[in-house]
Amino acid sequence: QVQLVESGGGLVQPGGSLRLSCAATGFNLDFYAIGWFRQAPGKEREGVACIKGRDSSTSYVDPVEGRFTISRENGKKIVHLQMNNLKPEDTAVYYCAAYRIFFESCTLSRSYYDYWGQGTQVTVSS
């Protein structure tokens, strides 16, 4: 049974940092891509970053490039999203998601993802 569990959300001041974690069970992460998505109140869910399990290649959306880093913990089925220099506009519920990937690069298109976690709240406010 595929399961994704996020952790690490919370309240942080602008300019601060948080690290989110996504623990995956029920599948071999080497054959999947993991993506982080976020959804702010009244907005569409959007992709933030993704990583390909086999080779740890990554992709980011422009607003987080250089501030967020997605990584896979060595030898484990855990993917982190390190978020630095957080801004109020980063406030959202953050979800991790997974899909089976072959030779292509990972995508941040929501329609590709088959499995989703329950989400964790990130609030950036002074």
Q: pLDDT tens digits for 19-69? A: 999 999 999 999 999 999 999 999 999 999 999 998 999 999 999 999 999
pLDDT the model gives residue 92 = 98
- Residues in Cβ contact with 54 at an 8 Å cutoff, skipping those fewer than 6 apart: 30, 31, 101
Q: What is the pLDDT of residues 80-125, one digit of tens each?
A: 999 999 999 999 999 999 999 999 999 999 999 999 999 999 999 9
pLDDT at 74: 80
pLDDT at 97 (0 to 100): 98
pLDDT at 70 over 90: yes
